[in-house]
Amino acid sequence: HTVQSIKEVGLPAGYSYVFSGQVKVLEETTWNLVLAMLLASIFMYMVLAAQFESFSYPFIIMLTLPLSIPFALFSLWITGRALSLWSALGMFLLLGIVKKNGILQVDYTNRLRAEGMPVREAILEANRVRLRPILMTTLSIIAGLIPVAVGIGAGSEQRASIAVTIIGGQTLCLLLTLLVVPVAYSYLAEFEAVPWGEWGSRLLGRARSSVRPSDND
């Protein structure tokens, strides 16, 4: 808004403007934050892959990470707050919070499947059972951050940006998480159920049968 206002007013010849304060700091640290988020995502994937002993399940859980950023930005816009260093820090913290819902869903679904339950029934049962703890943890986080989001006292505006970012991203992302994770899990289960070895053998056999012997043979 400030840049647009300056452009509309226009400056006389020989005059220029520069930004300082949080705008300058945010501009200087933007790439550092992006790099930190990428590294954090890589480390989270490594930890989840070790926990689930799988390279595919961490992808399902981490689908919630890119979904949380647009909702965090929307919460800033709806509350009339600008993107700042503190709100960017809130997004960084949000990445570590939103994945907990997916962990609860995927972990319990795997446990049910290990007990012999079919995939579809395991997904439905896991979401039904884990819905309550997911809602409880989400409401606890929101309730704990509401006093910070209200912004009372010195320096409250900066802390409020962090709280608003986490509250908005966590609340709105929760709705999609309950849908995206089960759907992604079902597609992964279908993909794993495909007999790729048998399919490859059949394809190789057809390729060999279609090759005609040469005249010299």
Tens of pLDDT, residues 77-134: 888 887 777 888 888 888 888 888 889 899 999 999 999 899 899 999 999 998 898 8
* Domain boundaries of the chain, sorted by first residue: 20-191
Superfamily of domain 20-191: Multidrug efflux transporter AcrB transmembrane domain (1.20.1640.10)
When mean pLDDT is compared across 132-136, 160-164, 201-205, 211-215, the lowest value belongs to: 211-215
Whether residue 17 is predicted with pLDDT greater than 70 in this model: the reply is no
The model's pTM is 0.72
Distance CA 94, CA 212 (A): 61
Distance CA 145, CA 140 (A): 9
- CA 212 to chain CA centroid, nearest Å: 53
Give the long-range contacts of residues 133-138, CB within 8 A, separation 24 or more: 133/104, 134/101, 134/104, 134/105, 134/174, 134/178, 137/100, 138/101, 138/170, 138/171, 138/174
